[in-house]
Structure 1
């Protein structure tokens, strides 16, 4: 059993999650492998409208599974509207998944290809009263996934990366942040979605509309190294390097994948 909670190791990793979270084998689990040639072109998919207020970022946290930036979500200062979703979704947090080396780390894959990391911008549907309430509704959450591809240094990301030293261990939090912007708005040219899916970490709730951007943002190899100084472990515990914190692609189980591209 996973008495010490879920994680990404052999004894508590994705292959074991179904023991405590049976929905892990459910009909709309994420991530998925996006087969570009099989995605249905949908000419009616409108571009996403992302509006983010960097001043609304509250804190940067090592939660023992990833590094997460939380946003104030008591107003519509940071929102996701239009595009493939209806209504207004507020940004709650963004976080990353990455590998122990640059050749892997993303959760979604495109024709089997993995990227070095994946940024997730997590939003909740304001027709519900709160993030917590929305998280259990089938249309409660919308997550924008952005791939990080090795290339030029990314200055937008550097602001976040600079704070990693102060949150190396689990439950470490940095509050005195410079204004953090999500790495870049989603390129409009090539997004999937919306695809019905789930959270990619326990409790794996099937409440997520996924929008994955095909066009990656850049990150340098040196910047990726900085992600790997973070630890899964808390202060005073045996240090355990935080990497390979991704769930592999799940079966489509008959879901359609639409795309705003040909």
Structure 2
């Protein structure tokens, strides 16, 4: 499950999932550990942009200023195993690129095709979580 997205207000938001493969042998193992996952979130804004070959580095903004907090997955099983890293700067994406992005699947080979859109729960209260900024 490398990418997922949902909307925040008027913005599209992409998430990139990561886990420490030296510490955990699989995503399934990492997901149930308190320090199991790091998810980088990037907001997208509507912008004219040429569609070229896909370059994953284009999903990161030029400024790597971010907010971070400990939280949970946004979809079942909702484990509290995530260090969230939300980039401050938005990246530009054209309507055509957004349409291509929305056609991606969140599926393991051999499983039923599952679209990545609308794969989240409603916003949750911050509770006692502390949000820190890198800037």
TM-score by length of 2: 0.74
The SS at the match of 1:121 is strand
Runs of 4+ in 1 over 6 A off after TM superposition: none
Contact 1:94 1:119 (8 Å CA) reproduced: no
In the alignment, structure 2 segments of 5+ residues that lack a partner are 107-114
2:77 alignment partner in structure 1: 203
Decide which structure has the larger Cα Rg and report it: 1
Cα deviation code 1:172-220 (max 9, x no counterpart): xxxxxxxx52434454452001x10111111111101000001011101
Distance, in Å, in 2 between the alignment partners of 1:254 and 1:118 is: 24
Q: Number of residue pairs matched? A: 126
1:122 is aligned, of 10, 14, 17, to 17
Cα deviation code 1:63-92 (max 9, x no counterpart): xxxxxxxxxxxxxxxxxxxxxxxxxxxxxx
Change (3 A) 1:227 1:127: closer
Whether 2:119 is the aligned partner of 1:223: answer: no
The SS at the match of 2:33 is coil
Distance, in Å, in 2 between the alignment partners of 1:187 and 1:208 is: 24
In the alignment, structure 1 segments of 5+ residues that lack a partner are 1-92, 99-104, 107-112, 161-179, 233-240
The SS at the match of 1:215 is coil
Q: CA deviation at 1:248?
A: 3.0
The SS at the match of 2:29 is helix
Cα deviation code 1:127-153 (max 9, x no counterpart): 223322111110011010011111131
Contact 1:135 1:205 (8 Å CA) reproduced: yes
Q: CA deviation at 1:229?
A: 5.5
Distance, in Å, in 1 between the alignment partners of 2:63 and 2:36 is: 23
Distance, in Å, in 2 between the alignment partners of 1:185 and 1:229 is: 20
2:45 alignment partner in structure 1: 149
1:175 alignment partner in structure 2: none
Whether 2:105 is the aligned partner of 1:258: answer: no
1:192 alignment partner in structure 2: 67
Contact 1:154 1:219 (8 Å CA) reproduced: no
Whether 2:7 is the aligned partner of 1:96: answer: no
The SS at the match of 2:97 is helix
